[in-house]
Structure formats: C-alpha cells, structure tokens
Amino acid sequence: MIPYVREIDIEYGRCDQVSPLIRRVTANNPGPFTFRGTGTYIVGKGEVAVIDPGPDDPAHLAAILAAVAGETVTHILITHHHADHSPLAGPLKAATGAPIWGCAVVGPEEDDTGEVKMEAGHDHDFRPDISLCGGGEVAGKG
C-alpha cells in the first residue's frame, strides 16, 4: 500500500527541486481537489518544459517565471483541462512564446446524477496549439 503523505513542505512561490531534472512550484489554491495547491512542474535545464501551469493567478505566473529565469521554455504541457491546471497556459505562453500542448474539452460536462461531482470544473476556454487528443510524443532536451 502506498501511504497518503499529508506532511509536505509547501511554500507558495518557492521552486522546489524534486529530482535532478524536475522542479515544482505550488500554486496558492489549496482545497479538496488540489490538497495544498496545484503542482506546476518544470522539466529539464536550460531548455525546459512546464507541465500544468495552474490556475489563472498572477502571483503563480510570476513564481513560474522566476523559477525559469535565464532558461527557455520550449513546451507548455497540459495533462488535463481542469480549472486548476490549464488556465495559466495562455498567460505563460504570452510571457515565453512557448507552444501549448494538450487535449481540449470536447463538449459540456455531463452531470445527470444530481450528486456531488468528484472532479474540479473544466477549463472550457483551453485551446492547445498542438493537440494530443489522439496521443502523441513530446520530446525535448533533458
């Protein structure tokens, strides 16, 4: 069994090294779907990919840009289009010029059960530059 670790040292705006090629910046959006906050991951060194930029939060954008200062963002990758993962992709693209990769929402959310949803809301405005809806390979240095 994998233990559910509740103790994690999070400081919003700080960039944490989580492995030799991966850093994490946590958004200040704690909640039942995000735990302490959405993790934005930066992969590589020099030329980097940013995975799941997070919610549209200017302070989080500033933290990501500070974390990649002096580097080139070559990819913005969206794992899924929940409102805590993809809305900051557009502002990050505007700041870096990097293309956005992902799969856009196809249609409206289905909610015919009347029960509480167990998912965060979808970002219906998300539009990737490069669609990965049918699968694909993303490659870069590191």
Instruction: Tell which residue, 49, 23, 39, 30, has the closest CA to residue 101.
Output: 49
Active site residue 111: no
Helices (H) then strands (E): counts for the chain:
2, 7
**Of 9, 16, 56, 84, which one is the catalytic site residue?**
84
Amino acid at 46: G
Q: pLDDT value at position 109?
A: 54
DSSP characters over 37-95? -PEEEEESSSEEEEE---SS-HHHHHHHHHHTTTSEEEEEE-S--BTTTSTTHHHHHHH
CATH number for position 24: 3.60.15.10
Q: What parts of the chain have a pLDDT lower than 50?
A: 111-112, 116-119
Rounded-to-integer distance, Cα 130 and Cα 93, Å: 13
Residues 6+ apart with CB under 8 A from 10: 26, 36, 37
Q: pLDDT value at position 112?
A: 46
Domain of residue 51 covers 15-131
Let me know if residue 37 belongs to a domain. yes
Let me know if residue 82 belongs to a domain. yes
Q: pLDDT value at position 110?
A: 55
Q: pLDDT value at position 2?
A: 74
Q: pLDDT value at position 26?
A: 96
Q: pLDDT value at position 84?
A: 85
Q: pLDDT value at position 108?
A: 58
Let me know if residue 21 belongs to a domain. yes
- Is residue 133 within 8 A of residue 110, CB to CB? The reply is no
Let me know if residue 19 belongs to a domain. yes
Let me know if residue 3 belongs to a domain. no
Q: pLDDT value at position 92?
A: 98
Q: Directed axis angle between helix 89-96 and helix 58-67, to 10°?
A: 40
Q: pLDDT value at position 82?
A: 81
Let me know if residue 2 belongs to a domain. no
